[in-house]
Amino acid sequence: MSDNASLRDLLLARLPGSGLSAEEQALLRDLLPAAQPLSGRRSGTVYMRSITASGWRGIGPAATVRLNPGPGLTLVAGRNGSGKSSFAEAAEMALTGDNFRWQGRTQVWKKGWRNLHEHSSPEIAVELVFDAGSDGEGAKEPVTVRRIWHGEGLEESRTVVEEAGQTTGEDVHDVIDAEQLSLYRPFLPYTQLGAVINGPLTALHDEISRILGLELLSDTDAAARARAKSLTDTESAAKALTATVIQELSEVDDPRAKEAITALSGRSPDLDAIRVLLQGHGAADEAHLARLRRLADLELPDRPLIAKAVTRLRSTAAVADDARHGSAEDARQLVKLLDAALEHRRRHPDVSHCPVCGTTDLLDRSWAERTRAQVERLQVEAAEVEAAHRELVNAVREVHDLMRPAPAWLQADESSLAALWRDLVACRTVRDPRELADRAERAEAVLGDACDQVREDARRRVTAQDGRWQPVAARLSAWLVQAEAAQAAKPARKQIKAVRDWVRALTDELRDARFKPFADQSGQIWRLLCERSSVSLGAIGLTGVGPQRQVSLPVSVDDADAPAFGVMSQGELHSLALSLFIPRATHQDSPFGFLVIDDPVQSMDPEKVDGLAKVLDLYAQHRQVVVFTHDTRLEEAVQRLGLRATVLRVSRQTDSVVHVASVSDPVSQALAEARAIALDPHLPPEVADRVLPSMCRLALEAAYQDTARRTLREAGVGQRDIQERVTRPGPLTGLAALAMGMRGNAAREVLDAVAHDHGPWARELIQGLNQASHQAPTTPIGDRLALVDRTKRLAKEVLAR
Amino acid sequence: MTTTTRSTRVLPTDELLAAADRLLNPSDETALSPGVRARAAATLLRLALDETLDAFWRAVSPRMTRSTGRTRMLCLQWYVSPSVARQWYTVWSGLSAACHYHTYDLPPTPAEVRAWHQDVSELLRVLTAARA
């Protein structure tokens, strides 16, 4: 509904100045229900162009009531049983598929809907015209909603929608929104008038509330309430879970569990402490578990590496020993000696005897060669010994290097292990390879076994602790999620409360503002209807909430408060019903431009009939008001009060042959009054000169208005616009220009067009009437009846355009 | 509309109103029933309306007093205003119906006639002012 869309805009426009925080505003935007797409494919105010029925109730062969599809008052008069109510019911039935008269009736009653004289299938149809409105779509084709019965029951019917003689395939609800039909109720049958007040006022309260179009706000409030409830649920669920978890924790033997209990037991749980605990950095964890974890992860001396180094040490030591105690060392000494001998020979090449033993001819060339070869061999042997020595030094260093001290924390912690570790380190001071190898091997074996045992033990204990802790931690994690949600819920709940307070205040303000015009209209209708009644109606209101809500009708009799229904006559009750129903049916948001009232005159005294005529005239300025009436009192009142109305008369012959004839319309009404005056022989000329032209002008004005409405409507102009342009005060030529579809409205051009269309006499008639009604003293009008006749002729031609 | 009252014109219109007023608010015990008094008051009020309209037309165009009641009413709107003319006709119609006996209609209530009394006083004031 457009109304809801505008309410949404209004609410959003009010938001920045609402005093709500940014979060609260965002929350409210979130809570607003999604915008509803428009239901029904057709738009624009709908008016009725005709009602047709055949084989329906009192109507036998097809009969049609033709209506002017725009604002105006139409009285459909006919005696009881003439079939006029059948038309009213046909219109309602065609559009709603239901009718108040049939609701809750017995089967016997429901059988009476079929006409007794007509044996073909009953059929009813309403021709609708959609106002061009403001969407700029231009003129629209009339749409016919036709309901055809194919069986015996009232329900055995189908409805087709036709446009330009073709079925459109639309459902009737595409054309007429069923919900809006029940909301605004443009049909008011006599039987319902009494039922309005007899029904529960709670229902009336709800229906009027819906008309005020504040559903968006109540929907928003309902959404906010639901959100608040779920938040409260979250909070209480978290609270309940806290108690359960504390209970579970107390059964777990773990320092972390104790810490968690402390964190949970406060007035508001310490979520941060739990978070830290779950990440494994809790205080209890530090002290006890961290040590276990360190022991479990203890880094041992590398046992295979040490074993390998010790083995190497032993073998290098053996090699080095062999080198020292064997020929190698001798070779090194001998090389020195032989080198010296060779040097001696090089310096004394001619001396061949040995300076040591004195043997001659010994140190010859061949001796030199043999000796050189021996020196080379001996040098190789010496190098091997040196290499073995270096190897040994390296092997010792390697073992020393592997004798690493314990980690610092361990030295202070595990004394026995630390002592073993110190034994290992002490090996560094041992220089003798064999001793080193033995001690390193022994120390490593003792320490390694001890470390393996300690580590294994620590690992077992950590695993055991974690095994108990794991489910507890999972539980705590789940608790944390809920507790976090609950923590977030608290401020959110406050936000929702602020939002709801604001929405409620806005609802009250808008309801009062929107209901006021409604109440004012009801009051106005009541005063017009019951001007002379001793019962007076105060300001009606929507009061109470919940089951106490109702429409308050403050009634007083001769200034004394009284219960509404006890003191009212039947006529006054009907007046009250009309006072409540007419503002509703003619509400500005209603898509229905028409209002059908069946027999409102019953049980009304003459005063009220005059008042009713005034009320109908008032609403006919902007609505198509169709009134079905069984007697002539309303018609007389309309004539007496000089109100403009079209009067149709329904008559019924034997065999249900129903005729609808137009007996009066605003043009013929004005012409009849002019003729009555023209026929009065005692009318003084000066009065005739002043009065008759004005009356004839009125008749022409009515004719031009009627045609102008039609022309503008066919040109696609909206009813509101038409009403404004047609009723705007101005010269007759202005209306004539509209009726002839002329763009300009210069008097001369319009008069030329009139002369062209109807002949020069028409131009002279309009000029004469204008002169007479604007200039005084007036020129004599001559033949009075001839003037009225000429006016009638032009009016008829104008209407026939 | 009848013109028979003209020959017996003895009371000015304000005295007709005063007489109607006395009938509607009797000061002492009276033998007349409320229905009879209401109907008599209605007759006096209608008489006052007729007198006032006649006086109006005599001042504007004396020959108008011979024309029909409908003519006088219909022409009135062009000399005073449509609303006054319609109001005159409405009140006059109401009073006419009230001061005749109808077998199918109940007599007017004193409250109704009292309301007409107010309407007539107002119309008299407006028409007298328009005549001047």
Q: Is B16 on the interface with A (CB under 8 A)?
A: no
Residue partners of A409: CB distance under 8 A and separation at least 6: A294
**Residue in B63, B71, B97 nearest the CB of A676:** B71
Q: Whose CA is closest to A403, among A434, A451, A435, A447?
A: A447
Residue B33 has pLDDT above 80, yes or no: no
| Residue B6, pLDDT above cutoff 50 | no
Per DSSP, helices labelled H in A326-406 are: 327-347, 365-402
Residue A686 has pLDDT above 90, yes or no: no
Report chain B residues whose CB lies below 8 A from the CB of A673: 74
Cα–Cα distance measured from residue B69 to residue B74, given in angstroms and rounded to the nearest whole number: 9
Chain B nearest C-alpha distance from A212 (Å): 35
Q: What does the pLDDT read at residue A337?
A: 85
Contact A694 B97 (CB under 8 A): no
Which member of A606, A640, A683 has the closest CB to residue B71? A683
Contacts of A607 in chain B (CB under 8 A): 94, 112
pLDDT tens digits, residue range A708-761?
Answer: 999 998 888 888 888 888 888 888 899 999 999 988 888 899 999 999 999 999
Which chain A positions have a beta carbon within 8 Å of B115's beta carbon? 531-532
Contacts of A610 in chain B (CB under 8 A): 90, 94
Considering only the beta carbons, identify the residue of B60, B67, B111 that sits closest to A683: B67
Q: Encoding tokens for residue B58? A: 């005599």
- What average pLDDT does this structure show over A281-310? 75
Q: Do A532 and B115 touch (CB under 8 A)?
A: yes
- Partner-chain contact A640 B112, CB within 8 Å: no
Among A102-116, A118-132, A745-759, A761-775, the range scoring the smallest mean pLDDT is A102-116
Exposed e or buried b per residue across A51-64, where buried means at least 16 C-beta atoms within 10 angstroms of its C-beta: bbbbbbbbbbebbb
pLDDT at A284: 59
pLDDT for B5 equals 45
- List CB contacts (< 8 A) between B70 and chain A: 676
A457 vs A352, higher pLDDT:
A457
Q: Write down the pLDDT at residue A9.
A: 83
Which chain A residues contact residue B97 at CB under 8 A? 606
pLDDT value, residue B7: 44
Q: What is the pLDDT of residues B41-60, one digit of tens each?
A: 888 999 999 888 888 998 88
State pLDDT tens for residues A388-447: 888 888 888 888 888 888 887 777 766 778 888 888 888 888 888 888 888 888 888 888
Q: Yes or no: say if A144 and A137 are a contact pair by the CB < 8 Å rule.
A: no
pLDDT at A579 over 80: yes
Q: What single letter denotes the amino acid at residue A640?
A: R
At residue A4, the pLDDT reads 53
The verdict on B111 touching A (C-beta cutoff 8 Å) is yes
pLDDT band at residue A14 under the 50/70/90 scheme? confident
What totals of helices (H) and strands (E) does chain A contain, helices first? 30, 17
Q: Please answer whether residues A43 and A130 qualify as being in contact, where contact means their C-beta atoms are separated by less than 8 angstroms.
A: yes
Tell which of A533, A534, A631, A641 to mutate to test the B interface (max B CBs under 10 Å). A641
Q: What is the mean pLDDT of residues B17-30?
A: 79
Weakest mean pLDDT among A347-351, A544-548, B23-27, B107-111: A544-548
Q: Which of A105-114, A413-422, A785-794 has the highest mean pLDDT?
A: A785-794
Q: Which residues on B lie below 8 Å from A531 (Cβ)?
A: 115
The per-residue pLDDT for A330 is: 76
Summarize pLDDT for A252-272 with one digit per residue, the tens: 777 778 888 888 887 788 888
Nearest to A691 among B70, B75, B89 (CB): B75
What the block records as the tokens of A345 is 């020979």
| pLDDT attached to residue A2 | 44
Nearest by CB to A677, from B75, B111, B112: name it: B75
- The sign one gets for the Cα dihedral A595, A600, A604, A607 is positive
What average pLDDT score do residues B123-127 get?
A: 89
Among residues 260-289 of chain A, which lie with CB inside 8 Å of chain B?
none
Of A38-47, A112-121, A334-343, least confident by mean pLDDT is A38-47
- The pLDDT-based confidence of A328 (bands split at 50, 70, 90) is low
* Averaged confidence pLDDT in chain A: 83
Pairwise CB contact (< 8 Å): B78 & A691:
yes
Average pLDDT (A157-185) is 82
Q: Summarize the confidence of residues A484-507 as an average pLDDT.
A: 88
What's the mean pLDDT in A476-498? 87
Question: Who wins on pLDDT, A742 or A569?
Answer: A742
Question: Which of B78, B86, B90 lies closest to A694 in CB terms?
Answer: B78
Confidence at A52, pLDDT banded by 50, 70, 90: very high
C-alpha to C-alpha distance for A187 and A592, rounded to whole angstroms: 10
Reported pTM: 0.68
Please say if the pLDDT value at position A1 is more than 50.
no
Residues of B in contact with A684 (CB under 8 A): 61, 63-64, 67
**Which ipTM score applies to this complex?**
0.82
Q: Which two tokens stand for residue A314?
A: 């032993």
A600-623 confidence digits (pLDDT tens): 887 787 778 888 999 999 999 989
Side chain identity, residue A741: G
Does residue A721 or residue A352 have the better pLDDT? Answer: A721
CB atoms within 10 A of CB A73: 25
Instruction: Tell me if B68 and A680 make a contact (CB, 8 A cut-off).
Output: yes
Among A70-74, A419-423, A580-584, the least confident range: A419-423
State which amino acid sits at residue A784: R
Nearest to B82 among A606, A642, A684 (CB): A642
The verdict on A607 touching B (C-beta cutoff 8 Å) is: yes
pLDDT confidence tier of residue A341, bands split at 50, 70 and 90: confident
Angstrom distance (rounded) from CA A685 to CA B64: 10
Rounded to 5 degrees, φ, ψ at A31 are: -80, -25
- Interval A199-218: pLDDT, tens: 677 777 777 777 777 778 88
Beta carbons of A640 and B66 less than 8 Å apart: no
> So what's the pLDDT on residue A138?
59
Dump strand ranges (E) for A428-554. 535-537, 541-543, 550-552
What's the gap in Å between the CA of B69 and the closest CA on chain A? 10
Return the residue matching tokens 């020979």: A345
What residues are paired with A543 via a beta bridge?
A550
In this complex, the residue of B74, B93, B111 whose CB is nearest that of residue A673 is B74
- The answer to whether B58 faces chain A, any CB pair under 8 Å, is no
pLDDT band, very low/low/confident/very high, at A625 (cuts 50, 70, 90): very high
Tally C-beta pairs within 8 A across A and B. Answer: 61
Q: Is B2 on the interface with A (CB under 8 A)?
A: no
pLDDT band at A103 (very low <50, low <70, confident <90, very high): low
State both tokens at A784. Answer: 């009075």
Closest CA to A298 of A440, A425, A464, A452: A452
Task: State residue A282's pLDDT score.
Answer: 59
State residue A796's pLDDT score: 94
Which of A55, A46, A72, A52 is CA-nearest to residue A143? A46
Q: Is the pLDDT of residue A111 over 70?
A: no
Residues ≥6 apart with Cβ < 8 Å to A149: A114, A121, A122, A123, A156, A157
- Between CA A634 and CA A281 the distance in angstroms is 93
Residue A227, SS3 per DSSP: helix
Within an 8 Å CB–CB cutoff, is residue B40 touching chain A? no
The enclosing H or E element of A594 equals strand A594-598
Span A380-389, pLDDT tens digits? 877 887 788 8
pLDDT at res. A647: 93
Q: Do A531 and B67 touch (CB under 8 A)?
A: no
Query: Which of B71, B94, B112 is facing A680, going by the closest CB pair?
Result: B71
Using an 8 Å CB-CB cutoff, list chain B residues near A618.
none
What average pLDDT does the segment A772-793 reach? Answer: 81
B89 touching chain A per CB within 8 A: yes
Instruction: Name the residue facing A687 among B70, B75, B82 (closest C-beta).
Output: B75
Higher pLDDT, A524 or A35: A524
> A419 vs A229, which has greater pLDDT?
A229
Whether residue B69 contacts residue B1, with contact meaning beta carbons closer than 8 Å, is answered with yes
**B78/A690 Cβ within 8 A:** yes
Chain A, 658 to 677: residues with Cβ < 8 Å from chain B are 673, 676-677
Most A CBs within 10 Å: which of B56, B74, B119, as the mutation test of the A interface? B74
A606, B61: Cβ pair inside 8 Å? no
Question: Under 8 Å CB-to-CB from A513, ≥6 apart: which residues?
Answer: none
